[in-house]
Amino acid sequence: MRPQPTSRMCFVCGRENPCGLKLKFYEDPESRVVRAELTLPEYYQGYPGIAHGGVIAAILDEISGRAVMLQTSTETFMVTLRLIVRYRRPTPVGVPLVAVGWVEQLGQAGARVAGQIRLPDGTITAEGEALLAVAPEEFRARWEAERSYWRIE
């Protein structure tokens, strides 16, 4: 498994974001997926003991979008145009989880990607499908100031 770079302030992967999840992502080129192991603390809950659905959606958005880097450069940034999340069962806080993302279709202008969050026994708690597009120039221009923070640690 190869590690992917993370950023400075992203809510999901930002190493310096005091409110962020600080997830680390790993590529499995053989199975063509990106994985992240995580345990959500209770301050990310909605209902007692259950992760907030917005946090789950953010993880699915990130893990599925990062799968594009398996087939492109780590500098190929795409943005989410649409994200559909299916909450299959409550995702507990305080329990080890695995997020997995993969590419379903990749084109020059965008991609269709998917992801899941799984319990230790493999049960899927949530899954998502997203449509991505290559980031517009104004997004890429803003990225230049952050480029030096995009690294593997």
pLDDT category at 136 given cuts 50, 70, 90 is: confident
Own/partner pairs, 137-144, CB within 8 angstroms, 24+ separation = 139/77, 139/79, 140/77, 143/77
Is residue 144 scored above 90 in pLDDT?
A: no
Could you tell me the domains of the chain? 2-148 (3.10.129.10)
Q: How do residues 2-34 score in pLDDT, each as one tens digit?
A: 999 999 999 999 999 999 999 999 999 999 999
Q: Which two tokens stand for residue 98?
A: 């695995």
Counting beta carbons within 10 angstroms of the beta carbon of residue 75, is it exposed (0 to 12), middle (13 to 18) or buried (19 or more)?
exposed
Single-letter amino acid, residue 88: R
Single-letter amino acid, residue 113: V
* Arithmetic mean of pLDDT, 127-143: 88
Query: 137 versus 79: which is more confidently predicted?
Result: 79
